[in-house]
A and B are shown apart, each in its own frame.
Chain A
Amino acid sequence: MDLTNKKILVCDDSVLARKQLMDAVKEIGDNATFIEGKNGKESVALYEEHKPDLVFMDIVMPEMDGTEALKAIREKDPDAVIIIVSSVGTQDQLKKAIQLGAKDFIQKPFENNQIREIIELRLGGN
């Protein structure tokens, strides 16, 4: 799959989790541009700066958590495509994320196939 000109923002405080996510995307398609955010606050700023096509967002992060960052980004851009990737997958968290406009919720540890489905659905087609 060709991901040229596709920008993906990966927000996670863990450098390893970011790497694993980017590796999973690279297995699916080539030439995507990655932007990395280490906390919610940074991710909101990076979103505004780069206007990525897709965002992978962790929930438990320092400074500002993923739920707040999701809210902040969606307020500024109601079309933002944000996927939550978190180890804390309670029903409440899931409900809250969907209410705030998350497009999907992936429980960690993720399978590469789950990332594939997201990429094909959200970035495939054109």
Chain B
Amino acid sequence: MYTQFLGNYLLQRGIITQEQLFAAMSRLSKTRLKLGTIAITEGLMTANEVDECLFVQTREDKRFGEIAVERGYLTEEQVSSLINKQTPDFILLGQTLVEDGAFTNEDLERIIFDYKNESELYDISLDIENQDAIASIIENYFKVTETKPHKLNIMYLELMFNSLIRFVGEDFTPLTPMVLDEYPITFGVSQSLKTKYEHITHIDTDRETAIAFASRYANEEFTEFNEYVIAALEDFLNLLNGLFVVNCSNQYSKSVELAPPVVTEEGILKGENLCIDFPIIYSFGIVHILFSY
């Protein structure tokens, strides 16, 4: 869960470039997590020990676990427990970046340690049920806006990331959110949510990215920018906001009024209080999801 945030963490600290992240993300689904990487993240082996076993593996026709046991780094029980271990996806992203030469296994060991500490992910077997950890990741992500996130903001962002994962694909990384005075719209769709105040949610993107986004969302191959592409963006926003309305009602008995989505091809988006841009980078382009109120 939330491989996406390790990508953001690495970009923010300048450890990797956007291009390196793109390349790694597009290969994620074809990559399998290796035993050595899991052993590092579990703290059972050091990066040096893993590198040593990998080196031996290039010369001897043996499995990684076998070599690690022979050299006394792991017991057989540890090997079988590692094989069956459920590990979070972000470790796979780390491994892919090591394979691409973006950094070494030794760097990965330190990065994972720092990332877990800063994100307060003490339990490596983080999964979707771990609400506290997810809330903590999102709060950290929101911190750069220097505004204290309201519980509804956290809920909205969680729904947004889950909807992107579920309906568009998990190969994205949220870039650093930006607080703006105003946002010049290039093309997009907006939808208003009314509680006590009016909140505008908006998806903005270039046409090529919109076609790719819509194709994934609708599970169809769109080749040109047409009414179906626009409708897919509207439907995605409507679905996300619909989930938010349902959650507000179920969890807080709060009633939220949802207006129909509208297409906005130009103009300026600004909120009386705040306008935040959450740029999401996919391998096919950048999608900006904005809130203003």
Contacts and interface: CB of A to CB of B under 8 A. Distances in A.
B193 to A, nearest CB: 11
Nearest to B227: A15
A91 B254 CA distance: 12
Contact of A16 (B167, B228, B246): B228
Contact of B250 (A62, A86, A90): A90
Contacts of A15: 227-228, 231
Nearest to A23: B220
B232 to A, nearest CB: 5
Contacts of B246: 88-90
B234 A109 contact: no
Question: Which applies to chain B's interface (DSSP): helix, strand, loop or mixed?
Answer: helix
Please tell me the size bucket of the interface on B. Answer: 20 to 34
Contacts of B259: 60
A17 interface: yes
A31 interface: no
Interface string A51-73: 00000000011100000000000
Contacts of A60: 238, 242, 258-260
B243 A87 contact: yes
Contact of B260 (A61, A89, A90, A92): A61
Contacts of A108: 235, 238-239, 242
Nearest to B167: A109
Contacts, number: 51
Contacts of A19: 228
B121 interface: no
A20 interface: yes
B131 interface: no
Contacts of A88: 242, 245-246, 258
A19 B220 CA distance: 12
Interface string A1-40: 0000000000001111101100000000000000000000
Interface of B: 167, 218, 227-228, 231-232, 234-235, 238-239, 241-243, 245-246, 249-250, 255, 258-260
23 contacts: A14-B235, A14-B238, A15-B228, A15-B231, A16-B218, A16-B228, A16-B234, A16-B235, A19-B228, A60-B238, A60-B242, A60-B258, A61-B260, A87-B238, A87-B239, A88-B246, A89-B246, A90-B249, A91-B250, A108-B235, A108-B238, A108-B239, A109-B239
- Counting from the closest, the 10 A-B pairs by CB-CB distance are A87-B242, A16-B231, A90-B249, A88-B242, A14-B231, A62-B260, A15-B231, A87-B239, A15-B227, A88-B245
